[in-house]
Amino acid sequence: MELVLNYFDKGGIVFFALGLLSVFSITIIVYKFLDIYFFNDLNLKKFIEDSDKISSLEEIESLITDSRNKKKIILNDIKYFLDEIIESPKKDDEVYFYLNKKFKKIQFLMPTLEIISQVSPLIGLLGTVIGMIDSFNELELGGSLVDPSILAGGIWTALLTTAMGLLVAIPALVSHYFFEKKINSLYDFYYFFLIKISNRG
């Protein structure tokens, strides 16, 4: 704990800002993981796949009858939507707009996570540049009398912020990639599923 406080003391305001970003990033990662993989209404891919290859509105109706709570709500919504577009000549467009509306909620905080992954290294680099400026300023003021250990300590402190920036950015970047991949997989699944059902009626 004392070591962490020492890092914050040496890193200054930049290190403190990166510390806040790390807490915010971890909170978003945990929230999005639970949301995407457990709690989201749209996470019915496995349920639908396990339901003996649904191929018509009648089969969706039978699923609604057998389902409970959250599954019943989203299946009812899908059935209502398909009833509306069954005669539409532009089914692809209708499905596209429907899914964009549905997936808006699951995309919540994804842009924020992406921004954190991109901005954190830059903030860390800014801290390094500021630290290096201070170190070289000390070198100029002290001339030949500057203690090399003081200069080295200043450079070490400056590089600390870059390391912290990368520590914040890497988990955010990796998490964003996997969450985005999962969301795109769900989107593609629903798109082809809805197109298939709407064409068969």
Q: Which of 4-8, 65-69, 76-80, 103-107 has the highest mean pLDDT?
A: 103-107
Q: For 92-139, write each residue's pLDDT tens digit.
A: 778 888 888 878 888 889 999 999 999 999 999 988 888 887 777 777
Residue 4 has pLDDT above 60, yes or no: no
Residue type, 100: N
- Closest to 156 in 3D by CA, of 7, 17, 3, 19: 7
Residue 81 has which token pair?
């939507």
Domain positions in the chain are 2-200
- Closest to 175 in 3D by CA, of 103, 118, 120, 117: 117
* pLDDT reported for residue 57: 60
Cβ atoms of 195 and 92 within 8 Å: the answer is yes
Residue 54 has pLDDT above 80, yes or no: no
Residue 110 has which token pair?
């994804």
DSSP 9-59: HHHHHHHHHHHHHHHHHHHHHHHHHHIIIII-TT--HHHHHTTT---SHHH
Does the pTM surpass 0.85? The reply is no
Average pLDDT over residues 40-64: 59
Q: 135 CB contacts (<8 Å, ≥6 apart)?
A: 151, 154, 155, 158
- Buried (b) or exposed (e) across 110-141, using 16+ Cβ within 10 A? beebbebbebbbebbeebbeebeeebeeeeee
Give, in order, the Cα–Cα distances in Å from 42 to each of 2, 72, 118, 162.
Answer: 45, 12, 28, 39
Average pLDDT over residues 77-95: 72
Residue 73 has pLDDT above 80, yes or no: no
Distance from C-alpha of 55 to C-alpha of 138, rounded to nearest angstrom: 74
What angle, rounded to 10 degrees, do the helices at 91-102 and 148-200 form?
Answer: 140
Q: Which of 28-42, 44-58, 86-100 has the highest mean pLDDT?
A: 28-42
* pLDDT reported for residue 166: 94
Residue given tokens 């080295």 in the structure block: 152
